[in-house]
Homo-oligomer: A and B are copies of this chain.
């Protein structure tokens, strides 16, 4: 089961600069030190919450990666987002709604569990928090729109190529950890495991990219980019 590691102390938090408390002035941090959210650890075979659960806590991801998924009654699954360190998630309760998706670790993770009531109070009293959260919601919305374009208007190789390029963005051709199985990449892009496997194999053979147990390296971004937009230059 999940494991409460202890209480978090925002003042000394290593990842505060990535969190919704990033913009908060130091003196406010001292004042809110009564706020000590639980730091919780989950294994990859657990879930942080399930779609439909009532949303009593929001969370900040401290370590590892999380996938947010939605599942149809017939079992088909869609990954709607992959979270990284500092991301806030599970805030549906702010709109009085139950969680709209399931949060599952992609590796051992550590999260900061923020009780909704307390977070609401902090937000009310600290405009910086409010502001940072707003910015992030708008940013998420933009990313969601981008994803809809990917899913609705692109073909398999285009989706896969632009996913890989985005994943490795800004790493200048070096090795990047990609802790997603073929099946999970498929669930993210609306493709089957076989289709993902075929294109990856193809591209490895063509020398566009390299792979080694859970890490990839893009060797020819332009080659991949051509795949990402078979007709027209995206």
Which residues of A are in contact with B by a Cβ distance under 8 Å?
A: 68, 70, 72-78, 80-81, 91-92, 94-97, 100-101, 124, 127, 130, 133-135, 137-142, 144-149, 151-154, 187-190, 229, 231-234
Contacts and interface: CB of A to CB of B under 8 A. Distances in A.
Q: How many chain copies does the complex carry?
A: 2
Contact of A147 (B95, B148, B231, B232): B148
Contacts of A101: 145
- Name the residue in A78, A146, A233 with the highest tally of chain B Cβ atoms < 10 Å from its Cβ: A78
A125 to B, nearest CB: 11
B94 A234 contact: no
Nearest to A139: B95
Contacts of A73: 229, 232-234
Given A73-B229, A127-B124, A232-B74, A80 B139 contact: no
- Name the residue in A81, A124, A138, A233 with the highest tally of chain B Cβ atoms < 10 Å from its Cβ: A138
A149 B70 contact: yes
Contacts of A130: 130
